[in-house]
Amino acid sequence: MSEIAIKYEDKIVDLQTAKELGLSGEPIELDNSPEALEVLRHSTAHLMAQAIKSLYSDAEFYVGPVVKEGFYYDFKTSAEIGEADLKKIEKQMLSFAKKKYPIERYVISKDEAREKFKNDHLKQAVLDMIPDEDVSIYKQGDFEDLCRGPHLPNIGLIRYFKLTKISGAYLGGDSKNEMLTRIYGIAFATKEALKEHMDMLREAEKRDHRKLGNEMKLFTFREEVGAGFPIWLPAGGRLRARLESLLFKAHRKRGYEPVRGPEMLRSDLWMTSGHYQNYGENMYFTKIDDIEFGVKPMNCVGHIKVYEDELHSYRDLPIKYFEYGVVHRHEMTGALHGLFRVREFTQDDAHIFCRADQIEEQIIEVIDFVDKIMSTFEFDYKMMISTRPDKAVGSDEVWEISTQALKNAMDKHNLPYEIDEGGGAFYGPKIDIKITDAIGREWQCGTVQLDFNLPERFKLEYNGENNDKIQPVMIHRAILGSFERFIGILTEHYAGEFPMFIAPTQVAIVPVAETHKEYAKLLSDKLIDINADSEIYAKNDSLNKRIRTAEKTRVPMIVVIGDEEIENKTVAVRDRRTREQYSMSEDEFLKLIQTKINEVNF
């Protein structure tokens, strides 16, 4: 193992820089530590750039940073590069690596750098962003790149890497700018680590909810139906229904009232709410007898109309309405992604109308609710406070007060959070709950939004103790976010092996021979009585085949029924994970299923 850099004042300093500045510190060896990988991957990005430059001589380079999933480099060339070219570039990289060019570093002034890269408009853009007077250049062979480092001492150290993805990426991350080509890659210090990483990706692929959803017949999409409109199949329907009914009970326990608003409302209302102006490009509109209607992208307006249906006293607050609200949003084609991003979805949505002095307790109550559910499913999640976006309604002052209120509530209860600057809803700041999918992508699920604007816009009020008219505060919240996304994430989280209480089918019953079919049906009926779904595998196939088929559906329990079982009133249980078999009495079995189904309450 060789030394590649040193740690100096908690910073990684490469050997070239350390030598130049005469620094010394704890050595960093080339291993799979985060520090070493940072240096290795950064240098691999440069090696890739060198290879690209040699293959596409007009290539210009923007930035090539190390990121969570490896590294990338953004560049531009007149050549069309596709996935097939990655192999070619990898090969070129290896041949350069074999030459073991040392990576040299020197410093020049920014003006000199401008001159040096005068034919590269992307490097000029990079130079524009650098405030310093002097910049460093790294050189390997005849390839030079403007870079802050740190880098390996020699490109020969780069051996175990893979280019993983190619795509477009906007210059500076802004869709108004030109699009560059981006190639992602990954590198490790050892062959084993690289292999492990690739295995992990393959494993994640197996969990992909789109693949499992298809295999397990949970949901489907069809071209002739339209992009982004999921079709729920029977198995998915059962899973979803279980989740819905559990959650319904949980809402009722916490004082939420079920309500329901219409699917579309007159456009005037969307103007009052501000959706028309601030969210209109995501909405679908239609006309009925010359009056324009907007299909709801959110449920708040409907719930406001419920609130307006009667007068409210300060004694009645908080009032909590909930709805499994179907919403439609015009998502861009490129954003659609299985159940994670669709154009029609159902939110577990609720709106809490409360007094200003109830905000904190209400927010904390919602966060407790979220925690109850996420911990039941064993999800890690993190919370983000999102502040005022560019497109927003309401005064700065109101935004400041409401954002502060969210922070206060979190701080007071020692709840950790990150800040997402400008990520709020147009009507108020929010706390987002983000959970992670099988391959580490984070998805926003639950959300708690504090809103002083819609109550103002709709002139909502309640009677105070002195019979004065006071404006309530609105809290918008969703726990799962949407059934679609949440079930997608659940599918990946459990790799399709759903726990008993939400599994589409609780029990697979396999009768040994035809003569046991009748008894299987009786057992199935008993299961329905305790709210468990079962499927009887009585097709004209071998017993082995039917057990195999049942296994493949990932059903939590398989029971085999034959002469022995019928005679003794027992069932032969086969466990999903261990594939072990054991026998238990039918009564015990039914009790067990019942317990497993009922053990979860949010």
Partner RNA sequence: GCCGACAUAGCUCAGUUGGCUAGAGCAGCUGAUUUGUAAUCAGCAGGCCCGGGGUUCAAAUCCUCGUGUCGGCACCA
Stretch that binds RNA, among 35-43, 55-63, 221-229, 313-321 (CB under 7 A): 221-229
Question: By CB under 7 A, is residue 461 in contact with RNA?
Answer: no
Q: The tokens of 473 are what?
A: 């505060």
- Phi/psi zone of residue 569: left (φ > 0), alpha (ψ -120 to 50 degrees), beta? left
Query: Is there a catalytic annotation at residue 396?
Result: no
Q: Name which of residues 378 to 397 contact RNA (CB under 7 A).
A: 389
Can you list the alpha helix ranges (DSSP code H) found in 56-184? 85-98, 110-116, 121-129
Q: How far is the CB of 564 from RNA (least distance, A)?
A: 4
- Active-site residue 315, yes or no? no
Active site residue 329: yes
Active site residue 506: no
The structure tokens listed for 23 are 């620094």
Interaction of residue 79 with RNA, rule CB under 7 A: no
> Of 446, 498, 501, which is closest to residue 475 (Cα–Cα)?
446
With beta carbons less than 8 A apart as the criterion, state whether 17 and 23 touch: yes
Among 107, 200, 335, 528, binds RNA (CB under 7 A): 335
Helix or strand run (H / E) with residue 568: helix 563-568
Known active-site residue 349: yes
Query: What's the token pair of residue 277?
Result: 């102006």
- Is 90 a binding residue for RNA by CB under 7 A? The answer is no
Quickly tell me which residue has 């060789």 as its tokens: 2
Residue pointed to by tokens 């010394």: 24
| Residues β-bridged to residue 102 | 154
By beta-carbon proximity to RNA, the closer residue of 312 and 434 is 434
Q: Quick check: 84 binds RNA (CB under 7 A)? A: yes
Candidate residues 21, 107, 130, 227; the one interacting with RNA per rule CB under 7 A: 227
The answer to whether the CB of 488 falls within 8 A of the CB of 236 is: no
Binding region for RNA (CB under 7 A) out of 121-129, 208-216, 260-268, 589-597: 208-216
Give the residue, chosen from 90, 144, 292, 331, that forms a contact with RNA under the rule CB under 7 A. 331
Q: Which stretch binds RNA (CB under 7 A): 75-83, 98-106, 246-254, 459-467?
A: 75-83
For the chain, the farthest-separated pair of C-alpha atoms sits apart, in whole angstroms, at: 93
* Residue 182 makes contact with RNA by CB under 7 A: yes
Return the number of the residue (238 or 434) whose C-beta is nearest RNA.
434
For residues 465-524, which are near RNA according to CB under 7 A? Answer: 478, 481-482, 484-485, 512-515
CB of 395 to RNA, least distance (A): 21
Is residue 206 a contact residue for RNA (CB under 7 A)? no
Active site residue 347: yes
Q: Active-site residue 430, yes or no?
A: yes
Please name which of 13, 7, 75, 17 lies closest in space to residue 45, comparing C-alpha atoms: 75
Q: Which amino acid makes up residue 104?
A: E
- Determine which residue in the list 221, 256, 369, 602 makes contact with RNA, applying CB under 7 A: 221
In the complex with RNA, the residue whose CB is nearer, 266 or 517, is 517
Site string for RNA, 268-307 (x = CB under 7 A): ----------------------------------------
**160 phi and psi, to 5 degrees?**
-110, 95
List 16, 238, 240, 300, catalytic entry:
300
264 - beta bridge partners? Answer: 295
- With respect to RNA, which residue has the nearer C-beta, 65 or 262? 65
* Residue type, position 149, single letter: G
Nearest distance from C-beta of residue 556 to RNA, angstroms: 13
Query: Minimum CB separation from RNA for residue 507, in Å?
Result: 13
As measured in angstroms, the least distance from the Cβ of 447 to RNA is 5
**Pairing label, strands 534-536, 507-511:** parallel
Binding of RNA by 49 (CB under 7 A) = no
Residue 29 Cα distances to 16, 100, 159, 383, 499, angstroms: 15, 18, 15, 36, 44
Instruction: Name the residue nearer to RNA (CB basis): 227 or 528.
Output: 227
Q: Are 349 and 322 in contact (CB under 8 A)?
A: yes
CB of 136 to RNA, least distance (A): 26
Q: Which pairs from 192-196 meet CB under 8 Å and 24+ separation? A: 193/32, 193/160, 194/160, 194/161, 194/162
Beta strands in 521-580 (DSSP E): 534-536, 557-561, 570-575
Which residues in the 406-425 window bind RNA by CB under 7 A?
423, 425
Q: How many residues sit close enough to RNA to count as binding (CB under 7 A)?
A: 82
Comparing CB distances to RNA, the nearer of 153 and 338 is 338
Closest distance of CB 385 from RNA, Å = 13
Q: Which residues contact 16 (CB under 8 A, 6 or more apart)?
A: 103, 104, 105, 138, 149, 151, 153
Query: In the complex with RNA, which residue's Cβ is closer, 288 or 332?
Result: 332
Of 3-42, binders to RNA (CB under 7 A) are none
Whether the bond between 318 and the residue before it is cis, its omega within 30 degrees of 0, is: yes
Catalytic residues: 300, 329, 347, 349, 351, 430, 476
